[in-house]
Structure 1
Amino acid sequence: MMIYSYCKMKVKTLFKFLAIIAVIAFSLSCSKIEQGFLSDTIRYRDNVIFAKRGMTLTLSDRINADGSTPPFTFKMLNLRHKATGEPAPSEFFTEYDVEVFKDGMTFNAATDTTVELLNAKRELKQVTPMEFNEVSGQISFNRASANLPLGEYIFDLEASNRWGTKFYESFAEIHVVDPTNDELYEVTTLQNNASTSAEVFTGLSAPRFSVTKISNDGARVILKIVDRNGDAFNPAEGEIIKRGDRPMFETYAKFNEVIVTDTALICDFEVAPFPLAAYNDGVTDWGWLHYYRIPSQYVIIEGQPNSAANPAFSYQIKMEGTYVVEVKMMETTRIAGGAPPMDN
């Protein structure tokens, strides 16, 4: 009898335990289970994103979601001046004409040898300088960024996933800056010498070389060779001539003929970089070298009477735009209009 009572009590206890478990399970089944995770500390690797004005493409990192549950939707909000809080200028959201290659087409230096062939692959598109990818959070800037005012800007972010939505104030900064000289161009050789009519050469100091971007429009180099006073030699009057069979401006003018003026040689190069490639004539690899001669009747060279000047230089422009390239020979003085040669 005692055994029976004991077993009966055990069964009642077991039923009570199972009933409690059932109540808990039912309660849980009626509660909403939280789905996913959205971190409070999502971020870019670098909090400051640099927009380099006029470059073909500047691209930020993706947003690091810090373990949050994908997929995400990101929204850039309240882009504003960092210092004043005033709304960002309208140029960020204005569409500009930008020449781009058509979808699926790229430039091929070996086959795209004329402006007509090049233009068959290109088209004008209206684009805003900045695009924000709502899936990755990446920010991209294109050539139209040349229109953006310099400055520091800041923005907020809204992020959403299956967990819900969060707001991140002052999420990251955009600094609009000009490209550095290293990003605009590269100079690899600068040299000069004097030569007599007997082709006896004497070394001179390297020319001073400068590149000035004067416009974001077009793709043009205006090459000037000047004396110590900045007086430009006149290629239209024969004050700048080619040097034998060595490469010169025309060697690298792939798409358009060089324009000759009384102060400069001008090339519309169409596609950056310029020169597109190093010049190799099958015997010598000349790199990007340009060779010129200033005949002796047009120049006075310190300590080298009745001598011609022979500047040589190599450079590459890395971005479209209009540039003045100046080669300044410090030991020289131009003879305007020329003088009768005494020896060569």
Structure 2
Amino acid sequence: MKNKIILFVVSVSVLTIVLVGCTKIGSGFLSPYVQYASDFTVIRGRVSSSYTLVTDGSSLPMKIKLMHVYNENGDIVDDMFTRTYPVEVWSGMYDPKTDTNYAAIMAKRKTVELPPIVVNESSGVLEANAGTLNLPLGSYSVDLQVSNEAGSEIVQKIINITLVDGKPVEITPETGAFSASLLVAGTAGGAGAAGGSNNGTLFNGNNNPFVDYTITRFADTPNVFVLKVVDRNGVVFNPKKGELAKRPNSGLNPDPPFLQNLQDYAPDTFQALDTAMILKYPLVPFPLQSLGNGFNMYYRIPTKYVQIDSTSAWSSNAAGDLYKGTADTHYLGVYTSGKFDYAIRIPMRIFVPGSYRLVVRLLNATHQ
């Protein structure tokens, strides 16, 4: 009898194992803990992306959909985020080796209607575009619907989006720093001790005391950039007459022979006018890629067009502390006419479409 009981128990155990082994396991897995690694800060008007959604082991593929957006008061503001605006996007692969002029680039661009912030339905990446210029500043939270083969759920207020304003054109210190220096007239060589320390450099770095500038966005369209360089008194250096010229590159037979400037970034739309340089740019950010030395534009003012103050060296400088000419403690007189060209480096990069005017005033230079 004992053997029969043992045999029965073994048989039941085997049957249980077989039945368990044949039981169908549910399809896929959808974690209740999907999340983002951090919140998303958007500078209005700029293209930017959040981190990918952290799926916490959920089965792929997933489909993510934006459900609701709330403002800081908790009110639903879906209408602001679902409204579409015209946005320029790529329609073909950009090749920097061949797409070197305005027409070639614009041939691979098209205008589409898009909401200012969209969600990539497979990765969950939040993608902001130039349409965010139309959204109010502030903080927002987002509900997402996440779905896969295991089901679907709505994750409430999964990420915070903060809309802030930034500089539509970055000059300094974000993109680089102004530099003012002397060149031996008609050459690429620095002026050495005669021009101050560091091989003729008058000042190189943030808070340049010799440079005062203003940047103005004067229209939403077209995409135009205007650069004007003036002396301490506001007298313009005339690019058309060669008063603002390319800066030679140093070395023997350098390639390229000149340091890069606006003309190199937009050769077919660049114009040197009497009062300014102007160009039409195809896209933002502009320039899209650096031609070397970051996003700096290099120019020189030939000696016959400029009289330059001689100053003692500035080891450093505080923000807003600008050179005061003859009243400045650094003032030492003027350099002998005909000896030195004035070299200026101008950092700039455009991030928001529109029409801009940059006026650079050289406080230690007088037009002649």
| Residue 312, structure 1, aligned to residue 315, structure 2 | no
Q: CA deviation at 1:278?
A: 3.3
2:37 maps to: 45
2:253 maps to: none
In structure 2, which of residues 208, 218, 224 is the aligned counterpart of residue 220 of structure 1?
224
Bigger shift: 61-70 or 297-306? Answer: 297-306
Q: CA deviation at 1:146?
A: 3.2
Q: For residues 75-224 of structure 1, what are the structure 2 equivalents within 5 Å?
A: 75-81=65-71, 83-88=72-77, 90-103=79-92, 105-108=93-96, 110-179=97-166, 181=170, 186-193=175-182, 202=195, 206=208, 207-208=210-211, 210=213, 212=215, 214=217, 217-224=221-228
RMSD: 4.4
In structure 2, which of residues 29, 44, 53 is the aligned counterpart of residue 63 of structure 1?
53
Q: CA deviation at 1:93?
A: 2.0
Bigger shift: 63-72 or 168-177? Answer: 63-72
User: Across the two proteins, how many residue pairs are aligned to each other?
Assistant: 312
2:245 maps to: 242
Unmatched tracts of structure 2, length 5 or more? 197-201, 249-257, 310-324, 327-332
Q: For residues 252-291 of structure 1, what are the structure 2 equivalents within 5 Å?
A: 252-258=265-271, 260=273, 262=275, 264-271=276-283, 272-274=285-287, 277-278=290-291, 288-291=297-300
Closer, same or farther: CA 32–250 of 1 in aligned 2, 3 Å: closer
Q: Which amino acid aligns with 2:148?
A: N
User: Does the 8 Å contact 2:226/2:278 carry over to 1?
Assistant: yes
Query: d(CA) in 1 for partners of 2:118 and 2:221?
Result: 21
Q: Secondary structure at the match of 1:187?
A: coil
Q: Which amino acid aligns with 1:304?
A: V
TM-score by length of 2: 0.66
Closer, same or farther: CA 183–129 of 1 in aligned 2, 3 Å: farther
Query: d(CA) in 2 for partners of 1:311 and 1:320?
Result: 29
Q: Which has the larger radius of gyration?
A: 1
User: Does the 8 Å contact 1:277/1:288 carry over to 2?
Assistant: no
User: Does the 8 Å contact 2:230/2:237 carry over to 1?
Assistant: no
Q: Which amino acid aligns with 2:151?
A: G
The superposition leaves residues 83-141 of structure 1 with CA deviations (integer Å, 9 ceiling, x where unpaired) of 212233744222222233323x3143x33344333333332222222211222211112
Closer, same or farther: CA 71–265 of 1 in aligned 2, 3 Å: closer
In structure 1, which of residues 41, 46, 54 is the aligned counterpart of residue 45 of structure 2?
54
User: Does the 8 Å contact 2:171/2:349 carry over to 1?
Assistant: no
Closer, same or farther: CA 236–70 of 1 in aligned 2, 3 Å: closer
Closer, same or farther: CA 279–158 of 1 in aligned 2, 3 Å: closer
Bigger shift: 236-245 or 57-66? Answer: 236-245
Query: d(CA) in 2 for partners of 1:213 and 1:101?
Result: 28
Closer, same or farther: CA 37–254 of 1 in aligned 2, 3 Å: same
The superposition leaves residues 53-105 of structure 1 with CA deviations (integer Å, 9 ceiling, x where unpaired) of 233x4222221121233333333222011x212233744222222233323x3
Q: Which amino acid aligns with 1:221?
A: F
User: Does the 8 Å contact 1:153/1:173 carry over to 2?
Assistant: yes
The superposition leaves residues 253-301 of structure 1 with CA deviations (integer Å, 9 ceiling, x where unpaired) of 4121315254x32222334433854379xxxxxx742222485589997
Closer, same or farther: CA 102–69 of 1 in aligned 2, 3 Å: closer
2:4 maps to: 11
Q: Secondary structure at the match of 1:117?
A: helix
Unmatched tracts of structure 1, length 5 or more? 1-6, 281-286, 335-340
The superposition leaves residues 303-324 of structure 1 with CA deviations (integer Å, 9 ceiling, x where unpaired) of 2288487241142415353333
